[in-house]
C-alpha cells in the first residue's frame, strides 16, 4: 500500500508498505480522508515527545472498515467510520476517570503508531465511531473539532453571550463554528491575515485586525476570550479582554519554555476563570460528529485543499498552499 512516511532528520517519503492485517480486537480501515495538523509538522521536526521513526503520520482520518480481527463485535465490514486516535494505558488514574487525554503514557495513531496518511490503517475496534452519511472529508474533521469541544468543556453551564478569538486558522475557525453552533451570536475573530479575516467574515464572524482599535474597544467586555495562536504575547493579553467574572481559554500550543505574567490579585478581585485543555476524549469525538451532522455544508468549507499523496508530501516539505485552511489527503 502507498503511505507517507516520516523518517529521522525531517525526511518525508512516499513509500510502498505491506498492507497490515488486523489482529485480535482490531479492524482495518481503508482511509478516505486524512487531515494535516500542526502536530504532524512538530513530529516531523522531532519536537513531539516519544514519536517513533519511521512513522506514518495522520491522526485526523475517516474511512471504511474492510477487515475485522478475531473477536471483534459491534463493528461490521463496510462501516463508515472516523477514528479516535488516542491510546491510553487504561490503568492510570486519568484513564480510569475517562480522561485518556491526560494519560501519562498517552500514545496516538499517527504519533506513536502508524496513522492515517496511508491507503489503510489498523486500529483498535473500540477506536472507530460511525459517521452515518457524512462526507469523508467532513467526518475527518471530527478529531480537531473534538479537541475544540474538549477546549470548551471546562465552561460547563457558564452563559456565554459573546466571545473574542485570537487566530483564525483551521482550528480557530472550527472553534468559532463550535461556539456558533452552540448558540453564541457575538463572535469576533482576530488575525493578522486579511484573507483569513475575510473568510471568517463569510462564516458570519466579526473580523478584527490584530492590534486595531476595534480589538482594544473590546477590552474587558468579553464573556470568553480564547487564544488559538500559540503565541505567548497573545496569550498574556487574554485577561485584558475578559469581563469581570469571565473566562479565558489557553487553547493554542505555546512553546514549552514560554512564560507569561498574570496578576493573582486581578484574578481574585475580578473573579476570572482560566482554562487550558489538551487533546480530546472519546465523548468529544461523539459530540463532534453530532455537531457535524447539524451543519455539514458549513463544516465542509473548512477543508480548503484535497490532495493526493504527492500533494500531501509536498505540503509537509514546503508548507501549506497559500490561503489554505484544512489540508486533507483525498482518496
Q: What CATH topology corresponds to 152-276?
A: Rossmann fold (3.40.50)
Is CATH 3.90.180.10 correct for 2-141+302-330?
yes
Task: Give CA–CA dist 223/158, Å, rounded.
Answer: 9
C-alpha dist (Å) from residue 316 to 11, 194, 251: 9, 24, 23
pLDDT at 9: 80
- Here the cell at position 310 is 504527492
- Here the cell at position 1 is 500500500
pLDDT at 51: 66
Cβ count near 306 (within 10 Å): 15
Task: Give CA–CA dist 69/128, Å, rounded.
Answer: 14
- Tell me the domain boundaries of the chain: 2-141+302-330, 152-276
pLDDT at 14: 98
pLDDT at 82: 98
Helices (H), 136-248: 136-139, 142-152, 170-181, 194-202, 213-216, 232-236, 238-241
- Whole-model pTM: value is 0.97
DSSP single-letter state for residue 127: G
Cβ count near 221 (within 10 Å): 15
pLDDT at 108: 96
Question: How confident is the prediction along the chain (331 residues), in pLDDT tens digits per residue?
Answer: 999 999 988 899 999 999 999 999 999 999 999 999 999 999 998 887 656 799 999 999 999 999 999 999 999 999 999 999 999 999 999 999 999 999 999 999 999 999 999 999 999 999 999 999 999 999 999 999 999 999 999 998 899 999 999 999 999 999 999 999 999 999 999 999 999 999 999 999 999 999 999 999 999 999 999 999 999 999 999 999 999 999 999 999 999 999 999 999 999 999 999 999 999 999 999 999 999 999 999 999 999 999 999 999 999 999 999 889 999 999 9
Which burial class, exposed, middle or buried, applies to 265 when counting CB atoms under 10 A from its CB (0-12, 13-18, 19+)? exposed
Give the SS3 label for residue 138.
helix
Amino acid at each position: 500500500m502507498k503511505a507517507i512516511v516520516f523518517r529521522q532528520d525531517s525526511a518525508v517519503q512516499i513509500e510502498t508498505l505491506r498492507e497490515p492485517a488486523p489482529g485480535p480486537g482490531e479492524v482495518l480501515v481503508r482511509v478516505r480522508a486524512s487531515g494535516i495538523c500542526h502536530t504532524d509538522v512538530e513530529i516531523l521536526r522531532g519536537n513531539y515527545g516519544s514519536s517513533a521513526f519511521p512513522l506514518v503520520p495522520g491522526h485526523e482520518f475517516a474511512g471504511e472498515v474492510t477487515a475485522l480481527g478475531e473477536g471483534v463485535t459491534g463493528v461490521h465490514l463496510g462501516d463508515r467510520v472516523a477514528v479516535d486516535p488516542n491510546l491510553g494505558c487504561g490503568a492510570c488514574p486519568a484513564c480510569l476517570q475517562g480522561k485518556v487525554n491526560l494519560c501519562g503514557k498517552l500514545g496516538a495513531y499517527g504519533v506513536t503508531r502508524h496513522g492515517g496518511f496511508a491507503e489503510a490503517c489498523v486500529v483498535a475496534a473500540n477506536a472507530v465511531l460511525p459517521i452515518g452519511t457524512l462526507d469523508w472529508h467532513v467526518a475527518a474533521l471530527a478529531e480537531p473539532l473534538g479537541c475544540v469541544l474538549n477546549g470548551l468543556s471546562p465552561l460547563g453551564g457558564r452563559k456565554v453571550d459573546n466571545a473574542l478569538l485570537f487566530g483564525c486558522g483551521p482550528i480557530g475557525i472550527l472553534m468559532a463554528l463550535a461556539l456558533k453552533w452552540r448558540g453564541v451570536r457575538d463572535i469576533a475573530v482576530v488575525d493578522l491575515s486579511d484573507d483569513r479575516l475575510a473568510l471568517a467574515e463569510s462564516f458570519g464572524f466579526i473580523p478584527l485586525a490584530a492590534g486595531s482599535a476595534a480589538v482594544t474597544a473590546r477590552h474587558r467586555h468579553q464573556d470568553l476570550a480564547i487564544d488559538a495562536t500559540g503565541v505567548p504575547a497573545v496569550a498574556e493579553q487574554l485577561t485584558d479582554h475578559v469581563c469581570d467574572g469571565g473566562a479565558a481559554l489557553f487553547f493554542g500550543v505555546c512553546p514549552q519554555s514560554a512564560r507569561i505574567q498574570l496578576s493573582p490579585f486581578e484574578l481574585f478581585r475580578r473573579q476570572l476563570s482560566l482554562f487550558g485543555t489538551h487533546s480530546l476524549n472519546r465523548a468529544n469525538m461523539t459530540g463532534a460528529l453530532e455537531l457535524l451532522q447539524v451543519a455539514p455544508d458549513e463544516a465542509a468549507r473548512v477543508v480548503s485543499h484535497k490532495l493526493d499523496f504527492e500533494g500531501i508530501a509536498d505540503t509537509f516539505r514546503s508548507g501549506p498552499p497559500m490561503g489554505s485552511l484544512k489540508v486533507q489527503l483525498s482518496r
